[in-house]
A and B are shown apart, each in its own frame.
Chain A
């Protein structure tokens, strides 16, 4: 009993404590939180607020992907299917039966986790590029099925009826409400990651990523470690999908199960720094405004697709200079400074 209490206290401490991080990181993160929290009061344009919401959503997607892709080193290019499962669970259950949002979220999670579990063991017989291709194919198969089936709305998609007053049962609000809604979800996932990075599982997962034989010699069940991580990543993707459904009030397989989405999710974590807790946030902060402003601006001037060229350039520079992304560059610079001073 005392032992269990201690374990609970430790989990809570690991979740909410940032004491092991350098003071500079803590200050930067606190400033970031204050900025995001007051953002809708400082900035009033609807587009900028939408960019902020999309940023938080992708930071959240990135945090989830970072588990299997960053800490686990298994490049998953099918996360969009889990977003789709979450989004469809929410949108279908609300439109068919009027079930409250908060009940549809766990259903979406269960669907995503169950599907991922069903495919996980054969998938993890593959490694590296082959694993990446397999995840991509599975996601495409689901997208085609959802387009083909009638009960999912097919290519027409499913709409939710708009409610005139703010509504906590179906989570419909004005821009301000959605901002704090996604901010709360983001914080929940971020705190989970803060616990995770200190956990035994995180060390085991990184050991598996770096060397499977060595990991097995240290008592780590390599396959099970990958599988359970894959399931957590799936669950986190589904939560993002559920939010997407009530935010856009419309879901179709081309917006939530698209290959572009899978790639953008993976890039969010990889550009920012896969396998670090800040990476997905940095990545989303770079890619989402780039996507939404530059794409719109240059596209308006007739340079269609130039944002993709810029994406590609960023990826090439990062892949060539520092595969651990922007966070890797920061860490390396800091380490060098440390060595010089020490």
Chain B
């Protein structure tokens, strides 16, 4: 198993955000993680990437126990991430933002700059290299986050709501970019999303969470038909009516 989450619990002073979540990923998969607001998706991401310490349970990455590793160690081990709320280094240029990521694997500036430029080209941001991130629209900032995460040369990329706030055209563009990097960089992708059109189109397999638990798992078509999923999203009434 490439990434394995085993019976993961995360509590915040009595509030249970993740209540015994288990799932696994194979190398090269594209997995979507969906669920209504407050289902515990972001918490799960933060537990995997080392921003939170799980209350109990285990996380294995490439058969290594990485439970409770701090974020800088998981990222060096090969787990890249983007944030739901954009986190830019606003006093650095776009290129420098990506260079910081490249410095994870390389120690000289020219090498880091070359890597950054390659990645910016891959995500169609080459002409924005010398701009400052906060001067740019949200859709572009999301792509900077993606480029930055790619620069650490991850094997697993976790993308927290990369398509939220984007218009339909921008959504299609980001899907193209993600498919391209998935193929070229031989990546495994784990995505969360509210935008159903996006997640249904890109994912090969979907995991559905509700109230901190995994309630369903399967291909996009299977999941969309499941009663529990409809119940979680639309309420009891609609599920029964089906």
Contact = CB atoms under 8 A, between A and B. Distances in A.
Interface of A: 10, 14, 198-200, 203-204, 206-207, 209-211, 213-222, 275, 324
A219 B72 contact: yes
Contacts of A198: 109
Looking at A10, A211, A219, A275, which has the most chain B CB atoms within 10 Å of its CB? A219
Contacts of A215: 89, 100
Interface of B: 49-51, 70-72, 75-76, 80-81, 83, 87-92, 96, 99-101, 103-104, 107-109, 112, 148-149, 151-152
Contacts of B101: 218-219
Nearest to A11: B108
A125 to B, nearest CB: 15
A218 B88 contact: no
16 contacts: A198-B109, A200-B109, A206-B100, A209-B91, A210-B90, A214-B148, A215-B89, A216-B51, A218-B75, A218-B100, A218-B101, A218-B104, A218-B149, A219-B104, A220-B72, A221-B72
B92 to A, nearest CB: 6
In the A-B complex, the 9 residue pairs with the closest CB atoms: A210-B89, A216-B71, A219-B104, A214-B87, A219-B76, A207-B100, A219-B75, A218-B101, A211-B87
B45 to A, nearest CB: 11
Given A214-B148, A217-B71, A217-B81, A206 B91 contact: yes
Nearest to A202: B109
B91 A217 contact: no
Contact of A217 (B75, B90, B108): B75
Contact of A275 (B91, B99, B104, B149): B91
A222 B152 CA distance: 16
A196 to B, nearest CB: 11
Given A213-B51, A213-B87, 18 more contacts: A14-B109, A200-B107, A203-B99, A204-B103, A206-B91, A207-B92, A210-B90, A213-B71, A214-B87, A214-B88, A215-B100, A216-B51, A216-B75, A217-B81, A217-B149, A218-B152, A220-B100, A220-B104
